[in-house]
Chains A and B, each alone.
Chain A
Amino acid sequence: MTTTKAAVSFPIRWKILISSLILLIPLSITAFFLVGSYRDQMNFAVSELNGSRLIRAVIPILTALSPWAEEGPGGPEEELINAAVETLRQEIEELQTALNILPEVLSKAELDPQLPARLSSAWLLARKAPFEKKSAALAAYGSDLTDFTIFIADSSNLSLDPDLDSYSSMSAAILTLPDTIRRMEVIRAGLERYGRDRSVESLRSLQTEAAFLTRLDLAAVGKAIKTSVWSDPLSYGATTGMPDPSKELAAFSQALSTLSSSLMALGAPQGPPAAAVAAQWSAARESTVAMQAKAQTIMDLQIQKRLDHFSRQLIFILLLSGMTVLAALFVILRITKGISRSLERISRLAGEIAEGRASGPSVKSSESGPSGPSGGFSRRISIDSNDEVGKLGAIFNKLLEMLEDMIKRIDGNAKDISEMVQGLSASSQEISATANEQAAAVKEIVSTIEDANHLSKNISGRVEEVSRIATDTKKNVEEGFGAVQSNIGKMSEINEANTKTISGINFLGDKIKNIWDIVNIINNIADQTRIIAFNAELEASSAGEAGKNFQIVASEIRRLADSTVNSTNEIKTRIQEIERSSDSLLLSSEQGTELIQQGKALSTQMSKLFSDISASADISSSSTQQIALSIRQQVSSFEQIVIAIKQISQGVDNFVMATRATSATTENLRHMAATLNELMKRFEGGESK
């Protein structure tokens, strides 16, 4: 058994936690200082913004205040001024709101990832509401802004520390200087105008400017500038290297004061001459420019100092965080090394066991300790530690015990499996042979069913054809039936005509009978006349000579009678001929009628036959259609049967394949069982060593 002693007893999670904390400290410090620096920069930017915004806002307002201050409340510009002041008030409120966000944001921001965005939003909000429009409207009214500037700056409560106040005041004061220069130009123009026309208006205008200069709190401006220079609690750069604006301030104050006094006294009897005023003006302008330049220089230096301060701050932060990170890494490495050493030992032992060095010599640990028995899963690892690695080692030892026990049991089961696999192999081979036979039989069935299906399809096609022919036949039968009906109608018409003919012939026969009766009457008359003639001749012959003439008459009468008889005989002959013809015609007509009746009967019979044929054709057609439907259903059934049989065949094939796979698997199992036996023998042989 290999044993080691752990270096640390704390749980690993504690160690990881401590390592994380150690690593987090410098990061937190870095973040803290970065946030603080960023806050300072934001404040600086805000103050810069405050000053410039305010000044830009108030300049036109103060410009408008000048005539209002002279004329008092109620002047025409009062409304405009009030509107501008109201606008400024609103914008200052908005600015106040925006700037109020900043402290809250900065106080909460340590590691807030949204900080830059939120600060940027506050910045943009603070830059809202341009003043230029209002300032342009009020710019024509002059400016007097010193007190008002300071008033705005103090009353708005805009800063976070006194330094910002002074900086705002400074920047506000500095921004008054360009306006003062502008006023210088106005004064110059006024002086030129006054020099030309010496008018009262020109003088009044000059004095108005002078009044502004008088109201300009130069001391406050100088104080603001000086204060900003020397009040630097954060030691941005102290006052070393910062230029002293006292001289310029003094010259600036003096020049403006002198000019203002001269302008006020201008035009008075004891007043200064215009040339002197002009010279004073020139000096005031130069001093204003110099003041502005100095103030701007100071301001630029202030800004640069602040930027340098921020840079130094950043470098300090980075150095500090770097050192703390290195320290944290050192501690972490020490902690993790202890953890990894134990894990490495466990891994090595597991690898040796996995490589099958169960029968080899025992592996001693690098640390001192008793060595355990060699071979098999009897080897154990010992780690004196209460952390997770120690627990892992204990669990690993338990795992080795379990494996040892499991292998013994597996050995026994492997022998049993080997016996059972042999029996299973024989059974699977038998099943495979049977499955092959079944597969062959199913394939035959499939073939037969497919042939039957093909045959059914042929039958279906033929039946379809027969159905079509039956339909055509029915159509023809119906046409024939119609023709027969038409024929029957025509035959009826012929029969009627024939009947009329027969009736005509019968009528003719009746007339012939009438003629015959008349002829018989005539014949009788002729016979009687002949008999009378004969009697006359008899009487004449009895009369002897006296009857000679009477005999002539009698002879003539007899001849006439004979002639009449001959005529009547001829008439009889003709009548007989007519009768014969009429009889023949009647017979023919009757025969024709009979034939027509026969024909009509035949047509009727044919009509009935056609009707029967039509009914049969209907039945045949419907039957063929039903047969076709049945055949189609049969075909469909056959197809489904084919599909099912094919599925069965596929299933049998799969079964055959499965049995083959089973056979192969059992064979593999048999090999595996043999392999297991060999492995077990190896392990058993190692333990025995």
Chain B
Amino acid sequence: MTPQEMMESIRQGSSGPGAIESSDMDRLKYIVFRIGDKPYALPAEDVQEIMLDMTIHYLPFLPDFIRGLVNRLGEPYTLVDLQSLFTRHPLEGRVFLILKPHISKMAFNISAVQDIAPALPEHLRRLSAMTGTHESFLSGILDHKGEEVHLLSLDAVLDAVREALHA
């Protein structure tokens, strides 16, 4: 879409090739991202911001999946390496998902953001089989453009972090 077409679409509101259907706004959006080569998804409403190439301030005496702290607008956020949490293999990713502060001041280190896609309820389904040792951190499966994407349970992750920090 050219800028002119985009502006025209905005001006027209509902028409045009990039028009967002109102129904789209009613769908729950998920941020589909990858950790390594596995796709995961989080509700978009839980993510504050996506950052790129943030400086990691490492902290000692912490579990492996807690890499350290990152500085977002002067506020420290705990950086969690989900791959290390899931597989105990560290991830050196460039992309950081910053959760909304009211959820937790936490950031996830991921490989890349794939999409922000709305998902209809029929696209969601429960976990059908155990897919490894980290299914406790998953809340379901999302069909995204023919691909099964694991929905990440934010609560489980947060609990694991808290538990690790208090340990």
Contact = CB atoms under 8 A, between A and B. Distances in A.
Interface of A: 524, 527-528, 530-531, 534-535, 537-538, 541-542, 544-545, 548-549, 551-553, 555-556, 559
Given A548-B20, A553-B10, A531 B25 contact: no
B18 interface: yes
Contact of B25 (A524, A530, A548, A556): A548
B99 to A, nearest CB: 11
A557 to B, nearest CB: 9
Contacts of A542: 45
Contacts of B10: 549, 552-553
A553 B9 CA distance: 10
Contacts of B51: 531
B1 interface: yes
Interface in B1-31: 1, 3, 6, 9-10, 13, 18-20, 25, 29, 31
Given A542-B45, A556-B1, A559-B1, A531 B6 contact: no
Given A531-B113, A541-B44, A552 B52 contact: no
B48 interface: yes
B116 interface: yes
Nearest to B118: A541
B157 interface: no
B47 interface: yes
24 contacts: A524-B53, A531-B51, A531-B52, A531-B113, A537-B116, A538-B31, A538-B47, A538-B50, A538-B116, A541-B25, A541-B44, A541-B116, A542-B45, A544-B25, A545-B25, A548-B25, A549-B13, A551-B20, A552-B10, A553-B6, A553-B10, A555-B20, A556-B1, A556-B3
Question: Which 10 interchain pairs have the tightest Cβ spacing?
Answer: A549-B10, A531-B52, A534-B50, A537-B116, A531-B50, A556-B6, A541-B29, A552-B18, A535-B49, A534-B113
Interface string B88-121: 0000001100000000000000000100100000
A552 B50 CA distance: 18
A548 B25 CA distance: 8
Nearest to A545: B25
Given A528-B52, A531-B52, A555-B18, 11 more contacts: A531-B113, A534-B50, A534-B113, A538-B48, A538-B116, A541-B25, A541-B29, A541-B44, A552-B9, A552-B18, A555-B20
A530 B113 CA distance: 9
Contacts of B95: 531
Contact of A538 (B13, B18, B25, B49): B49
Nearest to B43: A541
Contacts of B31: 534, 538
Pick the most buried of A527, A542, A551, A552: most chain B CB atoms within 10 A of its CB: A552
Contact of A552 (B6, B29, B45, B49): B6
A535 B20 contact: no
Interface residues of B, number: 25
Nearest to B3: A556
A542 B50 CA distance: 14
Contacts of B6: 552-553, 556
B112 to A, nearest CB: 8
A552 B18 CA distance: 6
B135 to A, nearest CB: 27
Contact of B52 (A527, A541, A548, A559): A527
A653 B36 CA distance: 121
A534 to B, nearest CB: 5
A537 B32 CA distance: 13
A541 B49 contact: no
Given A531-B95, A549-B10, A553-B6, A541 B20 contact: no
A544 to B, nearest CB: 7
Pick the most buried of B9, B94, B113, B116: most chain A CB atoms within 10 A of its CB: B116
Nearest to A544: B25
B116 A534 contact: yes
A549 B51 CA distance: 23
A559 B2 CA distance: 11
A534 B49 CA distance: 8
A551 B117 CA distance: 12
Contact of A556 (B18, B45, B48, B50): B18
B52 A538 contact: no
A654 to B, nearest CB: 121
A549 B31 CA distance: 19
Contacts of B48: 538
Contacts of A545: 25
Contacts of A551: 20
Pick the most buried of A534, A544, A545, A551: most chain B CB atoms within 10 A of its CB: A534
Interface in B99-151: 113, 116
Interface string B47-83: 1111111000000000000000000000000000000
Nearest to B18: A552
Contacts of A549: 10, 13
B32 to A, nearest CB: 10
Pick the most buried of B1, B9, B25, B53: most chain A CB atoms within 10 A of its CB: B25
A542 B95 CA distance: 21
Nearest to B28: A541
A99 to B, nearest CB: 173
A528 to B, nearest CB: 6
Contacts of A534: 31, 50, 113, 116
B129 to A, nearest CB: 31
Pick the most buried of B13, B47, B50, B53: most chain A CB atoms within 10 A of its CB: B50
Contacts of A556: 1, 3, 6, 18
Contacts of B53: 524
Contacts of B45: 541-542
A224 to B, nearest CB: 191
Contact of A535 (B3, B18, B50): B50
A555 B20 CA distance: 10
Contacts of A538: 31, 44, 47-50, 116
B154 to A, nearest CB: 15
A528 B51 CA distance: 8
A553 B11 CA distance: 12
B116 A552 contact: no
B26 to A, nearest CB: 10
A550 to B, nearest CB: 9
A117 B55 CA distance: 167
B73 to A, nearest CB: 13
B72 to A, nearest CB: 12
A565 to B, nearest CB: 10
Contacts of A537: 29, 44, 116
B24 to A, nearest CB: 8
Contacts of B116: 534, 537-538, 541
B2 to A, nearest CB: 9
A530 B51 CA distance: 10
Pick the most buried of A524, A542, A548, A555: most chain B CB atoms within 10 A of its CB: A548
B11 to A, nearest CB: 9
B161 to A, nearest CB: 22
